[in-house]
Chains A and B, each alone.
Chain A
Amino acid sequence: MSDNHFVNDPKKWVEEYSDMLYQFALKRIADKEYAKDLVQETFISAWKNVHQFNASASFKTWIVTILKNKIIDHYRKTAVNTQSTMVEAESVFFDEADHWREGYYPVEWQVTATADNKLESFEFMKVLQSCKSKLKEIQQQVFALKYLEGMESEEICKALSITSANYWVIIHRAKVQLRACLEKKWFA
């Protein structure tokens, strides 16, 4: 960052990056108030630690990384509280023999996703968001780390302090639930 005025002006930082950071946070944290708080904390810790910023790097990348770390810290705190109940919880989707339960059979979708632009339409993305929001917090968090951040399962387990067995239960159940919700709300 060559512009010294920029470095020393909190107003310019907030003007330039607050909405971008807020939107980044909203994709990963359902609670708006909490997302706003994390953005504020990000600005404050970036401001305090600006001497650590390497001028040859991108300021945007640097400040997004600070926010990302704060989001993962938050995820870890919620993960600790939920994981003990995850493994044993039974699922409605499978019967006693662990086959698809009648009434929960996956059905053929009318539109195939490959050739259909409808799947990326605004309305569909709204349905997807609403189905995602019905998942447990930890399921949404694992989805965000896996699909938005592109993290591998080992990294996610480490970041959230969860076991590998729990990770697969969380992601498997989340997938089954999300699929069923999309089917009910969009494809049926």
Chain B
Amino acid sequence: MRITCKSASEYIVRKEEGKISFKQRIQLFIHLIECSLCKRFSKQNKPINLLLKKEVTTPETLTADQKSSIIRKMEEAEQDNKEA
């Protein structure tokens, strides 16, 4: 009935998506009462999830050259289409 820390941490990740059976839920619950390390893992998992959802805005842009090259390729593609 007892589970390992490896399983417990996997159940914590599965639980986020609700992909955990009733039995596993009980096993995890019991494990978290007894294991302070996994409890910590579970607690820290929550803010990590929120942060992973954040889109970090990168200030990077394409150069003028890269943009003109894209435009050129689009114009070529258009001609291909017309000839076909």
Contacts and interface: CB of A to CB of B under 8 A. Distances in A.
A27 B53 contact: no
A143 B52 contact: yes
Given A23-B58, A109-B44, A94 B6 contact: yes
Interface residues of B, number: 43
Nearest to B76: A44
Question: Do most interface residues of chain B lie in helix, strand or loop, or is the interface mixed?
Answer: helix
Interface of B: 4-7, 9-10, 13-14, 17, 19, 37-38, 40-41, 44-58, 60-62, 66-67, 69-71, 73-75, 77-78, 81
Contacts of B4: 94, 97-99
Contact of B51 (A36, A109, A119): A119
Interface residues of A, number: 51
Residue among A47, A106, A114, A179 with the most chain B CB within 10 A? A106
B60 A22 contact: yes
Contact of B73 (A44, A106, A128, A171): A44
Contacts of B13: 168, 171-172, 175
